[in-house]
Amino acid sequence: MQNILIKDESATGKILNEIMIAIENELTTVKEIIEARVYAEVEAYNQKLPEYFNGLIQPSDTERTLNGFKLRTPRKIDPEKQAYVALDAFQKNGYFILIDDQQAETLEQEILVGADTSVSFVQLTPLVGG
């Protein structure tokens, strides 16, 4: 098991959010990194059900605020739906991922992760999902 720090950055390089995720294998794929990140965010939210959700994908029926995404009706978020939207958005260039300052090209691209691996998600458009 390998822990890596994921950073969300604006197009100008400003860090907007950070989350630590666990990756099962040193050799992983871009798809597995995205899924692990989304599942970690949703799990953390669903355990506490706070007023705001902070994550890569804006859940449906939410309002974007300065504090995150505010759910109109408190509820658990579906991690599979969020992951599906996140994977689809990557393929449609809704955001890109920098791994050790190199842009990830495909979901199947293999990545060797270590303690010093740098992963940044750079969001280009708002993403709405589950």
The span from the CA of 93 to the CA of 63, in Å, is 23
Number of domains in the chain: 1
Structural domain of 82: 2-129
Q: Quick one: pLDDT at residue 87?
A: 97
Instruction: Give me the chain's average pLDDT, please.
Output: 90
Asked if pLDDT for residue 54 goes beyond 70, the answer is yes
CATH of residue 81's domain is 3.10.20
Mean pLDDT, range 23-51, rounded to an integer: 94
pLDDT in tens, 79-126: 999 999 999 999 999 899 999 999 999 999 999 998 889 999 998 755
Q: Give me the torsion for CA of 36, 47, 65, 15, rounded to 10°.
A: -40
Amino acid, res. 116: D
Q: pTM of the entire structure? A: 0.89
